């Protein structure tokens, strides 16, 4: 496969010349979304926010009651004093950070795939968006676009819609459209496919041996559909693909991200890395090298989800790479352009929308879904949430 040279960004996309070191630091910090401990804004997170990070991701460790979580989201946005994107993994099934009343219990995506009803899946996306917006989230790392071709896969399994690539494409796009219609950015994952691995990238570096013909026929099909639909973002997989770049994980590979995703599939949305602290990366590369190579490969936004010291090291590595000329300011500007576009559509101000949960509109969105998936009457569920 021949890969054309990387397209250079327009001059209008370029950042102005650096005037102070703090300006460059903020420009680079903007390519990061971080995790943090606990349910409060600690001093390390506050300092990173002041230095310009793009946003934060919340995990189970950050989430209490609906009211507590809404208060934390409000505090984060108010503290930032600027558009500050808040994200979460709320897929449904076993990957759902927000659980119990007043949130709708959704089945694994495999069950939705077995039903095959794209209109229902889009409605699920709208319901997810409604509940996330009520708490203050702007961004959901869903849907999973991996094709469930390997029953031994330890990490994807029932998170995937189907073993058929076209079904994953059809239903994944439907869920993402529902999310985005509801005002929450979607993120398809994990490019270019994690469905046929036998190991978990949280723990080790998986490898896929398939040739390009197989990748184009199976793994890449949902991502092609996602790109053609013009949806907000995609997440990289920390996986080695022998046919594309056998020695480099997809997150750090220009051949995979630039050559296949950007140029062959035509995707121009935000490209997000999976967490750089996962063992697939951290067990083989320093966070500094992963950040710099990932930026050169085409990643626009890096997730660093746990350690503030690692987060600082990653930002500082990118600053040094720009100062040395290894990473061009045009590449940083290109990432800013895409992040600006996502923020313009999906960044919401700090506002009190918690009362929307359990409202007639919320009940109408859940009508038919709750009874279908849980056997419970939707009115009972909504009343219990008040």
331 inside domain: yes
Model confidence, pTM: 0.90
Top-confidence residue, 12 or 359: 359
Give pLDDT, residue 376: 56
pLDDT 10s digits, 326-359: 999 999 999 999 999 999 999 999 998 999 998 9
Residue 2 has pLDDT above 70, yes or no: no
Give bridge partners of residue 32 from the DSSP assignment. 302
270 inside domain: yes
230 inside domain: yes
Residue 322 has pLDDT above 90, yes or no: yes
Question: What sign does the dihedral 235-240-245-251 (CA atoms) show?
Answer: positive
Top-confidence residue, 368 or 149: 149
Percent of the chain with pLDDT over 90: 76
| Lowest-pLDDT choice from 83-87, 121-125, 243-247 | 243-247
Positions marked catalytic: 202, 274
pLDDT class for 167, splitting at 50, 70, 90? very high
| Lowest-pLDDT choice from 90-99, 343-352, 359-368 | 359-368
Residue 109 has pLDDT above 50, yes or no: yes
What Rg value do the Cα atoms of the chain yield, rounded?
A: 20
Count of domains forming the chain: 1
Give pLDDT, residue 295: 98
pLDDT class for 204, splitting at 50, 70, 90? low
| Lowest-pLDDT choice from 116-125, 144-153, 192-201 | 192-201
Look up the domain containing 128 and give its range.
29-366
21 inside domain: no
pLDDT class for 16, splitting at 50, 70, 90? very low
pLDDT class for 134, splitting at 50, 70, 90? very high
Q: 272: domain CATH number?
A: 3.20.20.300
The tokens describing 138, both together, are 């702007």
Characterize 3-12 residue by residue with b for buried, 16 or more Cβ atoms within 10 angstroms of its Cβ, and e for exposed. eeebeebeee
Greatest CA span in the chain, whole angstroms?
Answer: 62
23 inside domain: no
Residue 65 has pLDDT above 80, yes or no: yes
| Lowest-pLDDT choice from 230-239, 335-344, 351-360, 370-379 | 370-379
Residue 242 has pLDDT above 80, yes or no: yes
Burial of 151 (0-12, 13-18, 19+ CB in 10 A): exposed
Q: Give the DSSP H/E element, type plus range, for residue 281.
A: helix 279-282
Characterize 40-77 residue by residue with b for buried, 16 or more Cβ atoms within 10 angstroms of its Cβ, and e for exposed. ebeebbeebbebbbbbbbbeeebbeebeebbbbbbebb
354 inside domain: yes
269 inside domain: yes
Give pLDDT, residue 12: 31
pLDDT class for 165, splitting at 50, 70, 90? very high
Angle at CA 144, nearest 5°, toward 64 and 244? 130
Closest residue by Cα to residue 145 from 156, 129, 132: 156
1 inside domain: no
């Amino acid at each position: 496969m021949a890969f054309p040279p990387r397209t250079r960004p327009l001059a209008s996309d370029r950042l102005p010349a650096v005037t102070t070191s703090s300006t460059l630091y903020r420009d680079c910090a903007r390519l990061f979304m971080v995790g943090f401990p606990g349910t409060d804004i600690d001093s390390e997170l506050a300092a990173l926010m002041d230095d310009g990070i793009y946003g934060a991701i919340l995990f189970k460790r950050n989430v209490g009651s609906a009211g507590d979580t809404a208060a934390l989201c409000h505090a984060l946005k108010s503290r930032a004093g600027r558009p500050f994107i808040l994200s979460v993994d709320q897929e449904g099934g076993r990957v759902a950070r927000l659980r119990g009343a007043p949130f709708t219990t959704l089945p694994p995506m495999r069950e939705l795939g077995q039903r095959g009803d794209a209109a229902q899946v889009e409605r699920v996306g709208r319901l997810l968006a409604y509940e996330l917006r009520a708490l203050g989230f702007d961004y959901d790392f869903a849907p999973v676009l991996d094709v469930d071709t390997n029953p031994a896969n330890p990490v994807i399994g029932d998170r995937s819609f189907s073993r058929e690539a076209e079904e994953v494409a059809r239903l994944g796009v439907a869920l993402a459209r529902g999310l985005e219609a509801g005002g929450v950015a979607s993120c398809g994952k994990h490019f270019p496919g994690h469905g046929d691995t036998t190991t978990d990238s949280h723990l080790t570096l998986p490898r896929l041996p398939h040739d390009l013909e197989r990748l184009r026929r199976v793994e890449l099909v949902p991502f092609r559909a996602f790109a053609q639909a013009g949806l907000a973002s995609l997440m990289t997989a920390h996986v080695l693909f022998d046919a594309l770049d056998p020695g480099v994980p997809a997150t750090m590979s220009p051949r995979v991200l630039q050559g296949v995703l950007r140029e062959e599939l035509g995707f121009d949305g935000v490209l997000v890395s999976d967490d750089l602290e996962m063992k697939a990366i951290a067990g083989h590369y320093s966070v500094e090298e992963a950040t710099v190579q990932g930026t050169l490969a085409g990643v626009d936004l890096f997730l660093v989800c746990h350690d503030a010291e690692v987060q600082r090291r990653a930002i500082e590595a990118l600053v040094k790479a720009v100062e040395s000329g290894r990473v061009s300011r045009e590449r940083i500007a290109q990432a800013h352009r895409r992040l600006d576009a996502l923020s313009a559509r999906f960044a919401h101000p700090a506002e009190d929308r918690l009362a929307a949960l359990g409202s007639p509109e919320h009940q109408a969105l859940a009508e038919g879904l709750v009874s279908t998936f849980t056997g419970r009457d939707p009115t009972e569920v909504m009343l219990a949430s008040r």
